[in-house]
Amino acid sequence: LKLALSKGCCLVSSSPQHTMGRAIAAAAATGLCVYSASQAFVSSGAPASSSPQAPGLRGAAAAAPDAGSFAGLGGMTAAVASAAVGAAAVRAAGVARSATAVKKKGVRVVEGKEIPWNIFMPKAPYQGKVVPNDVHPHTLTQDTGDANWETTHVTFEHGGNVPYIEGQSIGIIAPGPDKKGETPAKIRLYSIASSAVGDDQSSKTVSLCVKRVVEVDGEYANREVGEDKPDKAGTGFPDKKVYRGVCSNHICDMSPGDDVLITGPTGAEMLLPEEDDANVIMLATGTGIAPMRSYLRLLFHDKAGANADGSRKFKGLAWLFMGVPYSKSLLYDDEHQEYTKSYPDQFRYDYAVSREQKNAAGQKMYIQTKMAEFAEDLWELMQSPKTHIYMCGLKGMESGMEECFSPLAEKNGMVWKEFAKSMKKAKRYHVEVY
C-alpha cells in the first residue's frame, strides 16, 4: 500500500522530540529498560530465539541482548533503544487498535498499551539493506500486457532496529526527484507484508509487496518520448511518454545489497484483535493483500503463532477475499493453498478475477460480487462480537460492502451504514483504502 504524504495521507507522528536523558529517565521510571530479555526485540548482532513466543494473535519478537544493554544497536541512540525495548515489552503481551497520544519517542499508546511508533523519522531514517528472499521470487506476477503488470516482493534487513507488529506500515525514501522536483523524494508509506518476525523469522527483516506504477501516454509524464528505458523486469516504452512512480520503481528495481532508507513503523488501524478465537474476514485488492499476508503468516505459519505442542494459538476462522484483474496477477496463492491444506477448518479463500470471471448474472467478478455468493454466511459471522473485518486496497471496496449487504441488513430490520458504524465503534471494522 502506497500513501503519498504530499496529499496528507501520512500517518507519521508529529510528536515533539525528547532529549536522550528524558527518554532514558522515562523508560527507567516505567521499568522498560530492565524488561525480560527473553521478550525484547532482537538487536543488531544478537542471536535470535529459536522459537519466539507471545500470547494472543500477534507475533513474538526474538530475544535481545542482556536487559538494559543497548550495545550493537547499529547507531540507534539510547533513547530510541529504550523505546524499542519498551515497545517489545507490551508487544509480547499484545496490543489493541485505535491510537491515542504519543507519550515517548518510538512508542505510541494504543488503548492503554504501547506499540513501536516512528522510531525512525524522515529526517533521520534507518539505512537498511536489500536481502535475498528465499520464500518468494522478486517478481510475483506474470506479464499481462498492461504497462503496470509487475508486483514485487522485496525484503530489507534492519538488524532488529525497526521492530513492528502485524498491520503496521513503514516509509521508504526514494532518491527522487519526485513530482514536485524534491530530492530526496518525500516518503511513501507501504503496508508491511511480513509478520513481526519477518519472512525468515529472525525479527531482523521486513518485506513489502509493491506494485510498479507505470502509466503510458497519460496526463502526467516524467519521461518524454525516447527517454524511457527497460526496468529490472525488462518492461520499457521508449517510443511513448511515460510516468513511472518514483518510489515504487525505486523499490521494484532494487537488488540484494542495495541500501534503503526506512522510516516508521506506524499505523494502528489494521492491528489484529487480541482474542485467539476471533474470526477474521479479510478483503484485499491487489497489494492490499500485504497486511493480510502478515496476519496469515503469524496465524498459520510462524513459530510465534504456535503453542509449545505445535498446535496453533489461533482458534477462529480466517476468510480471505482477494480481487485482481487477471489470474496472472494473483499474489501469494501458494501460501493460501498451503494454509487451506493444513488448516481446512480455519482458513478459506476466494478470489475475484475481474477481467476473467463473471457471476451467474454475467457481471464482472469484483470482491463484492464474490462475497454476494456467500452473503448469508458472512452476515451471520458479522453478528458475532468475535468477528473482525479488515479491508485494504481500493476505496470502492466500502461501497461494494454496502451493495452486498444492504439487502440482508434491510431484511433483518437494519440499515447497513448504521450496522457498519456500530462495528467500527466496537473496533471490529478496520479500513485502510486509497
- pLDDT 10s per residue in the chain (434 long)? 343 333 334 333 334 444 334 433 333 333 333 223 233 333 333 333 333 334 456 544 433 333 332 223 333 333 344 444 444 444 444 444 445 554 578 999 887 788 999 999 999 999 999 999 989 999 999 999 999 999 999 999 999 999 999 999 999 999 988 888 888 999 999 999 999 999 999 999 999 999 999 999 999 999 999 999 999 999 999 999 999 999 999 999 999 999 999 999 999 999 999 999 999 999 999 999 999 999 999 999 999 999 999 999 999 999 999 999 999 999 999 999 999 999 999 999 999 999 999 999 999 999 999 999 999 999 999 999 999 999 999 888 889 999 999 999 999 999 999 999 999 999 999 999 98
430: which strand partners?
390
Q: Specify the DSSP class assigned to residue 260.
A: E
- Residue 13's nearest CA partner among 94, 83, 68 is 83
Distances (CA, A) of 104 to 34, 80, 82, 215: 17, 10, 10, 42
What is the pTM for the complete model shown?
0.78
Q: Which of 33, 247, 392, 404 is catalytic?
A: 392
For 380, residues 6+ apart whose C-beta sits below 8 A from its C-beta are none
Q: Which of 166, 215, 269, 432 is catalytic?
A: 432
Whether the bond into 184 is cis, omega within 30 of 0? yes
Q: Is 332 a catalytic residue?
A: no
Q: Which of 126, 164, 190, 339 is catalytic?
A: 190
Q: Are 335 and 296 in contact (CB under 8 A)?
A: yes
Q: Is 434 a catalytic residue?
A: yes
390: which strand partners?
282, 430
Side chain identity at residue 337, one-letter code: Q
The pLDDT of residue 300: 98
Q: Is 311 a catalytic residue?
A: no
Q: Which of 191, 207, 248, 354 is catalytic?
A: 191
Q: Specify the DSSP class assigned to residue 33.
A: G
Return d(Cα 356, Cα 324) in angstroms, integer.
10
Q: Are 147 and 214 in contact (CB under 8 A)?
A: yes
Tell me, rounded to whole angstroms, the distance of Cα 222 from its chain centroid: 29
Side chain identity at residue 174, one-letter code: A
Q: Is 429 a catalytic residue?
A: no
Return d(Cα 280, Cα 320) in angstroms, integer.
8
Q: Are strands 347-353 and 318-324 parallel, antiparallel or unpaired?
A: parallel
Q: Is 432 a catalytic residue?
A: yes
Q: Are 101 and 140 in contact (CB under 8 A)?
A: no
The pLDDT of residue 181: 82
